[in-house]
Amino acid sequence: MDKNSEKQAYYKALENAIIITLTPLEGLRKSTAAKLILGGVIGCTASEIAQEINMDYETTLKNLDKIANTSLIKAVKEIVKDHPVLLIIDDTHDHKEYARAIPVSRNGAQVFYCREHKRYEPAIQLLITVKDLRTNETYIVAITPYIPQKVAEILKERGEEAEFKTKIQLYLELLPILLSEFNVVIISFDSWYVNSNTVGELKSSARVVEGGRSVPVSEFPQGEYLVEYLGTPIKLLVVEDYKGLGKRYFFSTNLNDTPEDIITAWENRWDIEVLIRELKALGLDKGSFLTWVRNKGFITLKALSLLFVLSFKYSLGLHLGAKRIARLIKTVYQESGGIKKLFKWRRKT
């Protein structure tokens, strides 16, 4: 492929990626929405985004408010269609001592001071992805800010609408929608929730019921066991030394699953860890705003920007991280002469 053909392939991939990413956005002009998504790829903070796309900073912030309630499900559905998918659930930050976190400033939107760890830590988002089991491509379908209980109380005092919900409550609100939209064959969790078609891992302190007795899983030697966990029958798979990482305890609610089935489904879960890393590379933790809605808008914009990056990456078969692809996109974007020349918007007739 010559250089001109390569450029054309890049331009086409960018155009297709932006069309997909714009699918769920409403209430914004296409050109404005496209600029914001590209800005979210190239710039980390809101001020950097505004500078990159030559948009007034206050206008950029107001547009974040409009993006706040955007659903990613519609866009991802267009990509994966009715393919069988693995639903993967995790959070973007592994510290769950929500009762011990307090805001460090009046905005308190993204960063909290943790009394237990005695350090500043980023806020937590509940992240849900789907992995297309035909193409092995993974996409974010939901990213929901998880408001610590103490922070919810402070936000209410300021007059903002903020309701504390546990991660399970947040997930259960989304689950019926996800199951109706996608062909979900497996759900991969940590140990905090068990449902049908669930594969996960238990901590050594977790207790299961065997023969009417509550037993810590750490007492089981390597092997397979039919037990109950949180009232649900599971197949427990104990691996004495999993990849040199010590003893591990995997489970599946499908009692017919083989050890290979369980391990394969669990290892596919690693894809969500990669996406969390990619979100942070695009600046997920770089926002701090006066309102919780604006903070949510920033988080959603970063998720949309990553969807754009992944669509571009997968269509060209690239094997690069989000940061390197962001630099490539910036180069292509600049060489094209800007958004008006790169994308030719047409009115629907």
Largest pairwise CA distance in the chain: 70
Q: How confident is the model at residue 345 (pLDDT cuts 50, 70, 90)?
A: very low
* Three-state SS at 199: strand
User: For the segment 167-201, what is each residue's pLDDT rounded down to a tens digit?
Assistant: 788 888 999 999 999 999 999 987 677 877 899 99
pTM of the full structure: 0.86
- What pLDDT does 107 receive? 56
CA distance 152 to 23: 32
Residue 194: which residues within 8 A CB-CB, separation 6 or more?
200, 229, 230, 232, 234, 251, 253
Q: Tell me, what's the pLDDT at 104? A: 61
Q: What is the pLDDT of residue 252?
A: 96
Structure tokens at 265: 């489904």
- CA–CA separation, 31 and 346 (whole Å): 11
- Please report, in angstroms and rounded to a whole number, the separation of the first and last CA atoms in the chain: 36
What mean pLDDT is predicted for residues 19-24?
92
State what percent of residues in the chain have pLDDT above 90. Answer: 57
Return the pLDDT at 179: 93
| Integer CA distances (angstroms), 305 to 32, 169, 204, 298, in order | 14, 27, 38, 10
Q: What span, in angstroms and rounded, lies between the C-alpha atoms of 176 and 183?
A: 12
Instruction: Write down the H helix ranges in the chain.
Output: 3-22, 30-42, 46-52, 57-67, 73-80, 149-157, 167-181, 259-268, 270-281, 292-316, 322-335, 339-342
Which region among 151-155, 177-181, 251-255 has the lowest average model confidence (pLDDT)? 151-155
At 276, give phi and psi (nearest 5°): -60, -45
Give 185 or 104, the one with higher predicted confidence: 185
Of 126, 259, 93, 260, the C-alpha closest to 193 is 126
| DSSP-derived secondary structure for 315-347 | HHT----HHHHHHHHHHHHHHTTSHHHH-----
Per-residue pLDDT, averaged over 265-272, amounts to 91
Q: Which residues contact 183 (CB under 8 A, 6 or more apart)?
A: 82, 83, 84, 85
How far is it, in rounded angstroms, from Cα 123 to Cα 108? 9
Report pLDDT digits (tens) over 45-58.
Answer: 999 999 988 899 99
**CA torsion, ordered 332, 338, 340, 345, to nearest 10 deg:** 30
User: Among 77-86, 114-123, 186-195, whose mean pLDDT is lowest?
Assistant: 114-123
Q: Copy the structure tokens of residue 93.
A: 């930050």
Question: Measuring CA to CA, which residue among 172, 195, 198, 170 is closest to residue 185?
Answer: 198
Strands 183-188 and 84-91: parallel
With beta carbons less than 8 A apart as the criterion, state whether 91 and 126 touch: yes
Kindly report the backbone phi and psi dihedral angles of residue 45, in degrees, each rounded to the nearest multiple of 5, phi listed first. -90, 170
Cα separation, 268 vs 211, in Å, equals 32
Question: β-strands 124-132, 84-91: how paired?
Answer: antiparallel
The token pair at 183 is: 């062909």
Q: In which band, very low, low, confident or very high, does the pLDDT at 346 lie, cut at 50, 70 and 90?
A: very low
Structure tokens at 155: 């936000």
Beta bridge partners of 234: 227
pLDDT tens track for 206-242: 999 999 999 999 999 999 999 999 899 999 999 999 9
